[in-house]
Structure 1
């Protein structure tokens, strides 16, 4: 986390555009069939792992992954950075009520935070208008709270016209910050069971998603493990 925040801060200071994304089990599974999503992720300057399932899988395959960098935690750190450094921010996504409440909560926490603007995430009939609003706002950091793969594709499509230095997809972060959704207890986060907490909160919407993607990911990991074993014995 510290390395990520420091790297982003350095890039922003140098006015070097940075496109950030986090990957989890569901996203890695969906990238196998959604080529637009895959291209968007591969086009990013910085990729973090948000999901203990991916951390454990990577370690099992021999990759040295020190820790999970959860999107919501990184968002909180970057807002603190923006407030201290005077970087104007723009919030895009969620409902009008949620994004407005998110802005109010963050202004209460950080009185020095410069919010260049915010807009809800239901704008697909006129993307160019939204891009122009963001560009003319003077924002340097843009946080996009829209479901995957829409946010990744939107960012990849318009990144050169947004006028920002840093852009990050933050998924359901605004729901958490605004208080509309509760985050899993720390102990569940540590053992990688945050997904189960989400299923408990929204069973009808989440159970099928996690059942399907977790099962597919398990088979992906099994095949990769077998392939790695075969390579080592060849």
Structure 2
């Protein structure tokens, strides 16, 4: 797996096809494989949140999700083959799991959303075995949910909980989950359930998904993205100038 170091973070510059192949091979070997995607907001938060940074860096595969990160990394001289969006990877892995008869577990979001996600997933992948589901509001009894996942027989676990909770949860319980693969999928269940619409493809291509979210929920999202994107721009300039200042040869 090709690795780069960008904004104080190790991440993998690999394609969607390579990502799915790596995950499939690891599951077949029955080795635990922890996956995460990074976007602009997560990278910015990792600069000040030590626990989140450690949880992300502990993962076996760190995909670049946000187009903003792809463009920023290229701006700083890195060769990135393509963006591996979490929601697209989720569907690729469900298709692979259906073909390989790998059971999956869906964890996160509200009860209504996770139930609708299961229904929609089973319509799209009729031969896929959903071994179990659980909403994301279980913090009073984490051990019971961990036991539920372990006893389900699932090989893949998808965790739709906000950062940094999902990364820290996975890192904390990885040895007791009983699965071969874990992936944090953020707001993917909201998209699959039809609660939230994805940005048009042209906006995804140019890194404008954040703007689409702001247009959908201006009061909640405007300040969040203004602060995050401003911090990211500053970090990019610092990284760019730091690379220029490095001695050559």
Query: What range describes the TM-score normalised by the shorter chain of this pair?
Result: over 0.9
Query: Which of 170, 173, 178 is 1:155 aligned to?
Result: 170
Q: Unpaired runs of 5+ in structure 2?
A: 1-15
Residue matched to 1:45: 60
Residue matched to 2:75: 60
1:120 and 2:157 matched:
no
How do 1:115-194 and structure 2 match up within 5 A?
Answer: 115-194=130-209
Q: Calculate the TM-score normalised by the size of structure 2.
A: 0.92
Q: CA deviation at 1:226?
A: 1.0
Moved over 2 A (4+): none
Q: Distance in 2 between matches of 1:37 and 1:137?
A: 28
Deviations 1:118-158 (A, max 9, x none): 00000011101100000011010000000000000000000
Q: Greater CA deviation, 141-150 or 51-60?
A: 51-60
Q: Distance in 2 between matches of 1:5 and 1:233?
A: 37
1:87 and 2:99 matched:
no
Q: CA deviation at 1:232?
A: 4.5
Q: Distance in 2 between matches of 1:73 and 1:171?
A: 12
Aligned CA RMSD, in angstroms, stands at 1.1
Question: SS of the counterpart of 2:56?
Answer: helix
Question: SS of the counterpart of 1:143?
Answer: strand
Question: SS of the counterpart of 1:160?
Answer: helix
Question: SS of the counterpart of 1:222?
Answer: helix
1:196 and 2:211 matched:
yes
Residue matched to 2:9: none
Q: Distance in 2 between matches of 1:74 and 1:114?
A: 18
Q: Unpaired runs of 5+ in structure 1?
A: none
Q: Distance in 1 between matches of 2:35 and 2:162?
A: 15
Q: Greater CA deviation, 58-67 or 93-102?
A: 58-67
Residue matched to 2:240: 225
Q: Calculate the TM-score normalised by the size of structure 1.
A: 0.98
Aligned residue pairs, count: 234
